[in-house]
Amino acid sequence: MRLCMYGLCLLLPVLACSSPTAPDVDGGWGGTEASLTITAAGGMIQYQCGAGTIDPGWTVSVDGEFSGTGQHYVGGGPVPAEGRPPHPARYAGRVDGSVFTLTVTLTDLDQALGPYQLVRGGPVVTEICF
């Protein structure tokens, strides 16, 4: 009763509620043009004619906004790719339920790749270069 006199009884239900959390992106994502495997330790992305890495320290906001940095290799294949210099890359996107929309910007070339529509557990892209 004394708590209600000080208005604390109105705050208790609010304090008991949990804070919203960011969507979980760990695991495998795939689509028709790219596939991604990501964990807290970083990620690997495969495109139809390229591949890349995502550094540890990427973030996802409670609104589902994804941001990270890494490298991009033109031509696909294993990463790191022998004989192919990497391009620094910025990864940005949005996670909405089981859909992850991702854009890759090669910062040294000011070139954007994507956006790629990835689905949790979706298909893995195999290297297809024309």
Could you tell me the pTM of the whole model? 0.79
What are the boundaries of each domain within the chain? 20-120
Task: Indicate the burial class of 127 (C-beta count within 10 angstroms; 0-12, 13-18, 19 or more).
Answer: middle
Residue 14: pLDDT band with limits 50, 70, 90: very low
Distance CA 102, CA 116 (A): 5
How high is the pLDDT of residue 49? 78
Q: Are 36 and 100 in contact (CB under 8 A)?
A: yes
Distance CA 48, CA 60 (A): 25
pLDDT in tens, 89-121: 999 999 999 999 999 999 999 999 999 999 999
Residue 127: pLDDT band with limits 50, 70, 90: low
φ and ψ at 61, to 5 degrees? Answer: -80, 170
